[in-house]
Amino acid sequence: MDRRPRNDLHQLDVYRCALELYRRVGRMVAGFPRGEADLRSQMRRAARSVPFNIGEGVGKRGRARAAAYEIALGETKELLVAFDCIEIDQLAPLPDVHAAADLADRVAAMLTKLIRSALETEHPHASEPAASANRASWAVDRGP
């Protein structure tokens, strides 16, 4: 069976990396000892949420797109914390933990750029002086 990407989502590097991160997390948590069901479940949920929210973001525009990517970024950061815990508790081989953390860092960097891009698309001239003046007009005066 020829497995070709079916839509634009599959062309996104961040989506493909998120799916690979999900695969790695699944393999990693499968080797956890019996007493780690909570961590196993939490990591699977977070890892699954990343590509889901990327997919949701692709279908949106502006602030809504950025919001979906921000959720994916938050879940990726949660996984980074989990990798630190796994390393401390020695629940998986260090090379596997480090490789997954490196991939999560890459996904986080791409998501950060996508968030910035989505927000700039919504307000393309937000960095111009007039926009700063508009923001200043509603700022709270705290006095001396």
Residues shown for the chain: 144
- For residue range 27-67, list pLDDT tens digits in order: 999 999 999 999 999 999 999 999 999 999 999 999 999 99
Give residue 124's pLDDT.
Answer: 60
| 80 touches 105 (CB < 8 A) | yes
Q: Report domain extents, the chain.
A: 8-125
Q: How confident is the model at residue 4 (pLDDT cuts 50, 70, 90)?
A: low
* Predicted TM-score of the model (pTM): 0.80
Give domain 8-125's CATH number out of 3.40.80.10, 1.10.3720.10, 3.40.640.10, 1.20.1440.60. 1.20.1440.60
How far from 47 is each of 23, 37, 78, 82, CA to CA, in Å? 9, 15, 9, 11
Give residue 142's pLDDT.
Answer: 44
How far from 95 is each of 24, 91, 100, 128, 134, CA to CA, in Å? 12, 12, 9, 46, 51
Q: Which residue in 135, 137, 112 sits closest to 123, CA to CA?
A: 135
- For residue range 77-119, list pLDDT tens digits in order: 999 999 999 999 999 999 999 999 999 999 999 999 999 999 9
